A and B are shown apart, each in its own frame.
Chain A
Amino acid sequence: MSPLAAFGTALTALRVNALRSFLAMLGVIIGVAAVITTVSISQGAKRAIEEQISSLGANALMIRPNSSSRGGRRGGFGSGTPFSDADTIALRDLPYLAGASGTIGASGTLVVDGINWPSDVEGVDADYFDIRDIIIEDGRAFTQAETEARARVVLLGKTVERELFPYGGAIGSSVRINNIPFDVIGLIASSGQSSGGRDRDDIVYAPVSTVRSRLSGFRYPGVRDPVNAIWVEVRQGYDVETVTAQLTDFMTAQRNLRIGQEADFVVSNFADFIRARNESEKMFSVMLAAVAGVCLLVGGIGIMNIMLVSVTERTREIGLRLAVGARPRDIRNQFLVEAIVLCLAGGLFGLAFGAAGAYGVEKIGEFAVSIEPMVALIAVGASSLVGIIFGFYPAHRASQLNPIDALRYE
């Protein structure tokens, strides 16, 4: 019998027992749907984390003061003695760093021709854009000279540009931030929505010195030219963890702390933190995959069960087919093809339901999902494999029947 004829015969037999075929498929449908949904969710989470890491700058470290403590009353994180521009300059000379930038956060209302928009104003050094992998889409970053001169220049994030300059022409225009005029010299490429729902494009960058003196008024007794934090970039080829330790030692000396005294600052590696969280999510997705695999196994056993029932019930049909000239392998192929068609159809239905489930989760849970063609292919392939494995035994049993015994079967 030709493969096409075997396929036709199988399809006819499955159609004749449509309800039972559907019930047999159900296990595989649920199994594959579970695989697709769970893998899509964990892939989506993984992708979101990767985006987060790249948005932070893969080799970026942040140094900020620890909490202050005065007379037993502790301030919030970062409220301790701040760093200064002098620290930033000292850090730039270190061989294992590619750059350093102080940062001061402020907020302000931007006004252009009667349109106003409140936003975050981040005071940074020219190095900052390279450290955080921020892409300047148009225009330029500020120069060292502008930083030193507290120049009133600003770079706009995408959202700010859209709100203030809906018709374009931002570069070269003047923007008033808290009534102080700034020249727009560059535009930042979009870095997209962050996982917390915060719009990372709703931001403007100005030289740290300008923000300190004109916008935030950041002062700290005993510290000249203070900054909130310093971002540094580890030079290519240096180990991030070693550099973190070296930086801690360097800053301890810089801040005149005694050896053994508790450091009053923290060097954070966000990428590592996120990767660690990713590890636990990896465990989670392995467990989900195991559960989905069990579903598929149960589905396969369901198929085997139904196929065994089907072989028993159709013993006389098998006897007749043998009597008119079917070879044992024709009978085996017929039932094998039936099992494979069941599993494959179940796999495709499961794929559809799984994809629908994943999108449902995305909508309801505001969770990023990502359905990868490779995963879909593997899931459907695995379900056909289940069909072959679990269909083989019933099919083999059918093919071993003796014609006359099968014909006489009641």
Chain B
Amino acid sequence: MGALIQARDLRRTYRMGGMDVHALSGVTLDIEAGAYVAVMGASGSGKSTFMNMLGALDQPSSGQLIINDIALHERSADELAAFRNQTIGFVFQQFNLLARTTALDNVGLPLLYSGMATKERHARAAHCLEMVGLGDRMDHHPSQLSGGQQQRVAIARALANNPRILLADEPTGALDSRTTQDVMAIFDQLNREGITLIIVTHEDEVGAHARRQIIFRDGHVLEDRR
């Protein structure tokens, strides 16, 4: 039994306009359980592609990716759905909350797909909202919340199923510096409590929160600082 995340010669090739574009060209690395990792690099360096693969949102063209002893490269669509539901929590730059849906129901969405009963689901979603300090905003719609609050709802949603790994793709990209600090404080706290945290960012201050920085360029790992 190896590291929590094991990537072996991970490649991803897109065909665009008759040309092959190598978004990832052979990435090999391990991430241990409980790590706090910042994935950095210029846009087009492959960091987001790598992140999407960790979240099973995208599939490698070749190579192996084993997370939590699950070989993602050889799993069916339903098994990947269960993996996204149970093992991973994903936080997006644009929050991606459902409009005209309460914070409580947004947070409860992953629980809906894990088949949790309504009453239990509401209790669990409320608990997650309290963890991010939004216990008094449960019935608000996203349009009634500030950007920072919306991102905290999104974090609560990512935490709903108690995942081992939290993936955040530019989570502070749409936030100002003060709310960025609030959100990063939540991430720091979650990592201290034991969750494995991987953040894609191009901001050095955000990267500095992590204990390990992996820097991508042209689809390769350029630097791996610990």
Contact = CB atoms under 8 A, between A and B. Distances in A.
Interface of A: 1-2, 5, 9, 12, 16, 316-317, 319-330, 402-404, 407
Contacts of A328: 77-78, 81
Interface string B183-213: 0000000000000000000000000000000
Contacts of B52: 404
Interface in B91-120: 92, 96, 98-101, 109-110, 112-115, 118
Name the residue among A2, A5, A325, A328 with the largest chain B CB count within 10 angstroms: A325
Contacts of A5: 112, 118
A323 B57 CA distance: 7
Interface residues of B, number: 28
Nearest to A320: B96
B161 interface: yes
Given A320-B96, A403-B57, A404-B52, A325 B81 contact: yes
A321 B113 CA distance: 9
B113 A16 contact: no
Interface in B44-65: 52, 55-58
B36 interface: no
Contacts, number: 66
A253 to B, nearest CB: 88
14 contacts: A1-B113, A9-B112, A322-B81, A323-B55, A323-B84, A323-B90, A324-B84, A324-B113, A325-B85, A325-B113, A325-B161, A327-B77, A327-B113, A402-B58
Given A16-B100, A407-B57, A324 B109 contact: yes
Contact of B57 (A12, A330, A404): A404
Nearest to B96: A320
Contacts of B110: 324-325
A300 to B, nearest CB: 28
Contact of A327 (B81, B92, B98, B109): B81
B81 A407 contact: no
A407 B96 contact: yes
Given A323-B84, A324-B157, A404-B52, A330 B113 contact: yes
Contacts of A329: 78
Contacts of B98: 317, 320
Contacts of A403: 56-58, 84
Contacts of A319: 96
B171 to A, nearest CB: 14
Contact of B96 (A316, A326, A402): A316
B25 interface: no
Q: What 6 A-B pairs have minimum CB-CB distances, sorted nearest first? A: A325-B85, A324-B110, A327-B81, A325-B113, A404-B57, A403-B57
Nearest to B115: A2
A403 B52 CA distance: 10
Given A1-B115, A9-B112, A325 B101 contact: no
B71 interface: no
B58 A404 contact: yes
Given A1-B112, A324-B84, 16 more contacts: A1-B113, A2-B115, A9-B112, A12-B101, A316-B96, A323-B84, A324-B90, A324-B110, A325-B86, A325-B110, A327-B78, A327-B113, A329-B78, A403-B58, A404-B52, A407-B96
A329 B55 CA distance: 20
Nearest to B53: A404
A404 to B, nearest CB: 4
Contacts of B81: 322, 325-328, 330
Contact of A324 (B85, B99, B101, B118): B85
Nearest to B56: A403
B92 to A, nearest CB: 7
Contacts of A317: 98
Contact of B114 (A9, A323, A325): A325
Contacts of A9: 112
Contacts of B90: 323-324
Contacts of B113: 1, 321, 324-327, 330
B82 interface: yes
A316 B78 CA distance: 20
Contacts of B58: 402-404
A325 B82 contact: yes
A320 B93 CA distance: 13
A1 B78 CA distance: 13
Contacts of B57: 322-323, 403-404, 407
A338 B92 CA distance: 27
A327 B78 CA distance: 5
Contacts of A323: 55, 57, 84, 90, 96
A327 B110 CA distance: 11
A19 to B, nearest CB: 14
